[in-house]
A and B are shown apart, each in its own frame.
Chain A
Amino acid sequence: MPGFLSPLIEPGFFSNLPVQTALVVGGVVAVVSGIVGTFTVMRGQSFAGHSLADIGTAGGSAAFVLGISPLFGFVAMNLMAAGVMEWIGIRRPRGRDLATGIVLGAALGLAALFLYLDTTASSTTGATVNVLFGSIFTLPASMVPFIAIFSVVAAAIVLVMYRPLVLTSISADLAIAQGIRVRLVGIGYLVALALAVSLSAVTIGAILSTALLIGPAATALRITNRTGRAAVIAAGIGVIATWLGVLLAYDSYYWFPNGGGWPVSFFVVTLIFLVYLLSQLRFRGRSAAQRRSTAAQAG
């Protein structure tokens, strides 16, 4: 390892098993979130993504009470919620946000119940922390295959439906006129979203998963004009933020020997936000400049 990097990387980083798991899982989940997130932002459905995270909390916490891995609870709850969202349909956005918000409230109430039951019923502490802020360092190795499968499914859906997904995001009328089954594409996308949100909820927590979903994507949209590149850049930013987050969290154990380290999710989220801010400042003029130049040519 190059000498200049060693101060950054505290001893035992690469040989530590939880760290290795975290890097692999975190990387995969970041890629999926970046890809799905790009389309989420394109379709203006960030609130749906955020809502699914909170709604999934009820499922994740229920899973805890039942003694099964929270991942399954998240996935089950999110798939159900996605189905309901699809059934309610895309009507006036304001009405839809309202309904989603209320379902959110009910789901959080449920989560409150389950988390409370967990703290009183079982001896395992920290269900709340686990569900809400993630457990990337404490994931059992048995979960890794499932994470991989769900990730592959989510990514595959988006990649297979790539072109119809782009077209339906632009205009449903255009899509229908071209023979696209808009309803099917919408359902497929919601399933991918449900999976992506569940995956990031398990790694960096339900409450923070939105950052991984839309942060890198919103950044990528600023940087490039092209859909495919945006998805790739979003995935890349997500992966780097996650790996750096894992590294910094690990290092913080050594930097603050009394405190016991800072949470991974904090680092990941802060890094994503910083990158986003930078892109807003750096590329702020870009869209405006483009508009001026096309106007000048057209005028």
Chain B
Amino acid sequence: MFSALMLNAWGSASIVAIVAGVVGFFIVLRGSAFAAHALPNGAFAGAAGASLIGVDAIVGLAVFSVLGALTIAGLGRRARHDVATALVIVVMLGLGSLFLSMTTEYAPEIYSLLFGEVLGVSSSELAPIAVIGVVCIAAVFLVYRPLLLSSVMPEVAEARGVGRGRMEVVFLLVVALTTTMAVPVVGALLIFSLLISPAAAARSFTDRPFTAMGLSVVIALGTVWSAIALAYLSNLPIGFFVGSIGAGTYAAGRGWAGWKRNRAASPRVGAAGRSPAPAQSS
């Protein structure tokens, strides 16, 4: 399992997990689950197109996911946010299917782009993935506080000069970059799971933002490491394990939160509505 061949897999997957944990924290905070689903699917078209014209898939991924991010940010202000994003996703996927239909490797190519091919990551691809990963993390830490404020209290942020629209664009671009580096490893359909599940689970365990982000990274790493190991041992696709472990950690988080809530809700004594002196209006 730890042979030289597998080192690339471990390495790339770990980088992806760290970035996904960090970015996913904000995705969950901002409730951008749908957009996080959209960009990878859009990037799929880019990768397909790139493979059609013989360019490196990463280039296609990058171009299309950045375009997708800008489109969503632009359309979203005019039309209903969910309808706009959904249609953009689908057109991208349609384009992707078109491009792939024109290549000779239709079926296997589709499968690996959608569900990931972590074992197929070569040493030469490891470097760009790592670089983009570092850029993503650096970007997040750079705008950490304004992004946090804008995500939680957008009006207050506006008053302080942090434009909501601008933050949205910046954030979506970061997600686009995350997509670019992650899709070759875990696939367009499942990067979403890696972005959402660890962050959502982390939220159930702690209230503090920075801790939650760190916990999200830890859970994401745990998820991909287990997935790789299990995939290696069972010869089943890694995507299957990423999806199921993701759901499992989320369920565990919910269970924990529920258990904590039940323990805390001990019967309150004499809390009959004693209002303060009628200082309020009648």
Contacts and interface: CB of A to CB of B under 8 A. Distances in A.
Interface string A214-243: 110010000000000000000000000000
Contacts of B37: 50, 101, 104
A265 B97 CA distance: 9
A46 B82 contact: yes
A101 B31 contact: no
A113 B234 CA distance: 12
**Interface size class for chain A?**
35 or more
A41 B82 CA distance: 9
Contacts of B102: 259
B193 interface: yes
A280 B176 CA distance: 25
A126 interface: yes
Contacts of B28: 98
Nearest to A276: B87
Given A128-B110, A266-B98, A106 B190 contact: no
A37 to B, nearest CB: 10
A208 B90 contact: yes
Tell me the interface secondary structure of chain A in the complex: helix
Contact of A102 (B94, B187, B240, B250): B250
B222 interface: no
Interface in B180-205: 187, 189-190, 192-193, 196-197, 200
A101 B192 contact: yes
A284 B190 contact: no
B243 interface: yes
Contacts of B233: none
A273 interface: yes
Interface residues of B, number: 49
Contacts of A273: 87, 90-91
B200 A102 contact: yes
A194 interface: no
Contacts of A102: 193, 196-197, 200, 246-247, 250
A246 to B, nearest CB: 15
Contact of A129 (B82, B107, B200, B243): B107
B107 A128 contact: yes
B261 interface: no
A108 B87 contact: no
Contact of A112 (B89, B106, B240, B246): B240
A266 B98 CA distance: 6
Contacts of B187: 112
B111 interface: yes
A210 interface: yes
Given A108-B243, A116-B236, A265 B80 contact: no
Interface in A59-114: 94, 97-99, 101-113
Interface string A191-227: 0000000000000010110110011001000000000
B41 interface: yes
A46 B243 contact: no
A119 B190 contact: no
Given A132-B110, A269-B91, A273-B90, A106 B243 contact: yes
A266 B196 contact: no
A125 interface: yes
B239 interface: yes
Interface in B238-270: 239-244, 246-247, 250
Tell me the interface secondary structure of chain B in the complex: helix
Given A106-B246, A108-B239, A208 B196 contact: no
A172 B31 CA distance: 24
Contacts of A162: none
Given A109-B242, A262-B98, A269-B94, A98 B200 contact: yes
A108 B193 CA distance: 9
A112 B190 contact: yes
B93 interface: yes
Contacts of B241: 109
A58 to B, nearest CB: 9
B46 to A, nearest CB: 15
Contact of B243 (A94, A105, A207): A105
Given A109-B193, A208-B94, A119 B246 contact: no
Given A97-B33, A119-B107, 20 more contacts: A44-B82, A50-B89, A105-B193, A105-B197, A105-B246, A108-B190, A109-B247, A110-B240, A113-B239, A129-B107, A132-B110, A211-B86, A211-B87, A211-B94, A218-B79, A218-B80, A265-B94, A265-B97, A266-B98, A268-B94
Q: Identify the 7 closest CB pairs spanning chains A and B, nearest first.
A: A109-B243, A105-B193, A112-B239, A106-B247, A269-B94, A113-B240, A211-B90
Interface of B: 28, 31, 33-34, 37, 41, 78-80, 82-83, 86-87, 89-91, 93-95, 97-98, 101-102, 106-108, 110-111, 114-115, 187, 189-190, 192-193, 196-197, 200, 236-237, 239-244, 246-247, 250
Interface of A: 41, 44, 46-47, 50, 54, 94, 97-99, 101-113, 115-116, 119, 125-126, 128-129, 132-133, 205, 207-208, 210-211, 214-215, 218, 259-260, 262-263, 265-266, 268-270, 272-273, 276, 280, 284
5 contacts: A104-B192, A108-B115, A108-B243, A109-B193, A273-B87
